[in-house]
């Protein structure tokens, strides 16, 4: 009897993995990496796994930022520009103003929070479409970067903080991956066990109904867009710590992967369902594709083509899922 129950439980877990979006994406990711390893004999090496973990951390972090907005049924096209501007602010504070680098990190992340709040103000106070608002602010934030730096990189980041982006825990797990994992745990707990998390799902599922039951939808949306800015800033600052310099193109290509990571992980584009664990899986797939292309010596131009194709597949899967739910 006990063996039957164990078998049923095991088969139930396996079935839930195979039928979930995140589960299938994880399987695809493993298959892709195995194929690439068989071809190159070079994917599953200690060095490359560490490099893969480090690079995927940024895709996943920015994916977390986008996922919060997607849960509301919105979208944020400014995540990349907020990351870039925050990274520039950090570099300027450290190299030009001589501010303590750890204090500069806090100020830069707070600046990202403010940028996100600006998006939220336009969206909530003026009832503007998130797509238009974040498209506009994205252009503004990006323009500020070029005006302030004139396209020149900012170097001279102190080694006492670059270790955060370049070092590893016990020499094995990159610090950016550790930070990403901690953020994932915190966000997952917030979404699952706090009233704020439940309100995000409620507003994303049916904003009108959420207002009727007394949820302050605008306050929830304001805080979500602010947190999105903060998470974007974290990713941007971490990238500076990884590179040891601030480049004007930091985060420039993060918008599509951020959306795709969330949708591939099972977050609905019309809001109300999804989570951070799925975004991790989606981010790993996006990173695996980019890393595999580089490892196999394929032109980086193919990365754009494949990323675009994955975006279309992810959106199509989301549409199919919504149609099934409708039926």
Q: Is the separation of the CB atoms in 54 and 250 below 8 Å?
A: no
247 three-class SS: coil
The tokens for 318 are: 């989301």
Q: Indicate the DSSP class of residue 245.
A: E
With tokens 């670059």, the residue in question is 162
154 three-class SS: strand
Give residues with Cβ within 8 angstroms of 192, minimum separation 6: none
Model pTM score: 0.89
Q: Is the separation of the CB atoms in 116 and 228 below 8 Å?
A: yes
- pLDDT digits (tens), the chain, 327 positions: 445 455 455 565 555 555 567 777 888 888 889 999 998 888 889 899 999 999 999 999 999 999 999 999 999 999 999 999 999 999 999 999 989 999 999 999 999 999 999 999 999 999 999 999 999 999 999 999 999 998 899 888 998 999 999 999 988 899 999 999 999 999 999 999 999 999 999 999 999 999 999 999 999 999 999 999 999 999 999 999 999 999 888 888 899 889 989 988 888 888 888 899 999 999 999 899 888 888 888 877 787 788 778 778 777 776 776 677 664
Helix crossing, 130-149 with 101-125: angle to 10°? 140
CATH numbers and ranges of domains, the chain: 58-322 (1.10.3470)
Give residues with Cβ within 8 angstroms of 66, minimum separation 6: 75, 76, 79, 228, 258, 259, 261, 262
């Amino acid at each position: 009897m006990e063996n039957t129950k164990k078998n049923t439980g095991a088969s139930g877990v396996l079935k839930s993995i195979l039928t979930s979006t995140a589960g299938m994406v994880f399987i695809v990711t493993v298959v892709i990496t195995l194929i690439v390893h068989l071809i190159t004999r070079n994917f599953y090496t200690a060095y490359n796994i560490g490099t893969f973990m480090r690079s995927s951390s940024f895709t996943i972090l920015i994916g977390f930022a986008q996922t919060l907005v997607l849960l509301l049924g919105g979208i944020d096209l400014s995540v990349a520009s907020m990351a870039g501007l925050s990274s520039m602010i950090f570099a300027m504070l450290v190299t030009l103003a001589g501010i303590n680098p750890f204090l500069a990190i806090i100020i830069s992340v707070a600046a990202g929070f403010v940028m996100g709040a600006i998006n939220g103000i336009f969206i909530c106070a003026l009832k503007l479409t998130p797509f238009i608002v974040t498209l506009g602010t994205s252009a503004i934030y990006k323009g500020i970067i070029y005006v302030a730096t004139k396209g020149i990189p900012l170097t001279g980041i102190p080694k006492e903080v670059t270790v955060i982006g370049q070092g590893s825990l016990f020499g094995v797990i990159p610090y950016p991956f550790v930070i990403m994992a901690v953020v994932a745990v915190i966000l997952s707990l917030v979404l699952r066990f706090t009233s704020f998390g439940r309100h995000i799902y409620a507003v994303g599922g049916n904003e009108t109904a959420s207002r009727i039951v007394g949820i302050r939808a605008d306050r929830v949306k304001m805080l979500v867009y602010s947190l999105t800015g903060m998470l974007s800033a974290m990713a941007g600052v971490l990238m500076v710590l990884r590179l040891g310099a601030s480049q004007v193109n930091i985060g420039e290509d993060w918008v599509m992967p951020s959306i795709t990571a969330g949708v591939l992980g099972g977050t609905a584009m019309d809001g109300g369902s999804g989570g951070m664990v799925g975004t991790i899986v989606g981010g790993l797939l996006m990173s695996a594709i980019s890393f595999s292309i580089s490892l196999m010596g394929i032109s980086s131009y193919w990365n754009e083509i494949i990323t675009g194709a994955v975006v279309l597949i992810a959106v199509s899967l989301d549409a199919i899922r919504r149609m099934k739910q409708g039926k």
